Chain A
């Protein structure tokens, strides 16, 4: 480990060529994330939230500057090393769930473990634990098409946490859910953050998500406009 932070970005810059122009998606972003944070990247569309999430998730590399995730410099990773980092240490939750439609709930959650060469018995045990965390242990044989949006996202969360990653990146995880399901999902993620010590980083503009955050980083035009620690505003005024 090069430092004690889970994630650290130094003068992170990401630009994209657009015809004769260059779009600056991230402009000298300096951020540090500690273990077990529950942090949101907020800001308007085009502010660089997803780009930052991409780089932290080793899906993309910076144009300049550095992003160190769990001691590994993202910009220096080969495709295989980046895959290994995601495979072992990072979980993803998407806005549109992205479950594999032909597989059952159990098989969807089991899939990341198949890539990690766990034995069948270990996979079964870990999968059932993950489904139990999200309250879907009784829906193991259901197919994604038989689930509601909230249930699908809970399966996606179980898939992200089943390998007990240090970091979960969630891109607009509640965008396709109604208020009740959003709260349910967020409570589930908050509980996993608390019980497992998993770091959650969200990209969102959803106020419901923001209410749960303990740290809110506001991005504007690719730069950090504000970085604030906050007390979560639980629904009904409950404080953490």
Chain B
């Protein structure tokens, strides 16, 4: 019977083409939007983890309270022993200390007088130690626009846009004017080794990347760091595992009232990420519900039109002895065939579009001019195993709902009128 119904569907385009197109479009959009949101979510997590939060982050309790102000006077001290201890206790994690700092970057002329000057947001990371993970975490080779990655002490990278604004070339000298950990003025000279563009507006506006040893020396932060970031070895964030590590770490220091005791936080608990992720999850769910509702309405209407067109056929089937329930079920089977076929095609098209956007991305830098979020300017879709099946939820649910409602008309058909109806 199913084969018989399938043949009928395929041969009668008025019965199959419009509903299949409806499902294809709905499923395609669902898959595409799901992957898009998935990509945005991955982008948020990945960019924030690499540039800001890590998968977990350790700060002093006092620093954590005012982290937005980058209060280096409240930074952790005795960092090396703490990192060694962390490596010992959590050997699968990568631990790396960082110092964030603000200041002015002064570009001198040939006489040593200020030629250009601009505010800079600095990040001191381990660039020069053998086996350091930071160049990889920051993807410096990929981000490099001009010059080279620092290979010696006192070499820095600055963002390309910032460099153009200050008319700085690789090889030029730049002077950092900032504040030491104790609050006195700090001045240090560096050589610009290269320029970078991360594709993250918050970093590209005016960032400076320096080796942590140089900044410790400049800011008088010997064996200190504002924060220690921890990453999972595969750089994929797993919240339950991160929470577990955080709970364990904090439990060990929970009773200590010292303001400078180290505290750990997960990525999702920093910078409002929990709310952001909840919002994205809600959007994903909303997309599904909206598409199920819209497609159901369209397919309900298509089912009603189909019932009118097939009035004679259904009458004959009733006369031949097919029960109303059997016909009703066959209409649902037909719609499920349409749902499966439409979902397969829609998923294939949606995945093709998603893979394209996963590879090439869409530049939304023009929308991010004043953004302080660590989010890549190039939004990419992200295809996951769920992407292959997500479209089937609205595809099948909508066709089922649409035909279930429109098909109930069959129960209002009176067999006593069949002869007259079939003669007309």
Binding site for B on A (CB under 8 A): 50, 53-54, 57, 59-61, 79-80, 82-88, 90, 92, 94-96, 98, 100-103, 107, 111-112, 114-115, 159, 171-172
Contacts and interface: CB of A to CB of B under 8 A. Distances in A.
B416 to A, nearest CB: 4
Contact of B419 (A59, A90, A107): A59
Interface string B308-349: 000011011111111111100000000000000000000000
Nearest to A59: B415
A59 B319 contact: yes
A103 B8 contact: yes
Interface in B391-424: 415-416, 418-420, 422-424
Contacts of B323: 79-80, 83
A102 B11 contact: yes
B1 interface: yes
A112 B322 CA distance: 9
A100 B316 contact: yes
Contact of A90 (B313, B315, B321): B321
B321 A98 contact: no
A53 B316 contact: no
Interface residues of B, number: 28
Contact of B1 (A82, A92, A103, A114): A114
28 contacts: A50-B419, A50-B420, A54-B418, A60-B416, A79-B324, A79-B415, A80-B325, A83-B323, A84-B321, A86-B319, A87-B320, A87-B321, A87-B322, A90-B321, A92-B319, A92-B320, A94-B423, A95-B423, A96-B423, A96-B424, A98-B312, A98-B315, A100-B8, A101-B313, A103-B7, A107-B4, A112-B320, A114-B4
A60 B4 contact: no
Contacts of B234: none
A100 to B, nearest CB: 5
Given A54-B418, A82-B415, A83-B323, 7 more contacts: A85-B321, A86-B319, A92-B320, A96-B422, A98-B316, A111-B317, A115-B321
Nearest to A115: B322
A111 B320 contact: yes
B321 A60 contact: no
Given A60-B415, A98-B422, A107 B7 contact: yes
B12 interface: yes
Contacts of A171: 419, 423
Closest 7 pairs (CB-CB, A-B): A87-B321, A60-B416, A86-B321, A59-B415, A102-B11, A83-B323, A102-B12
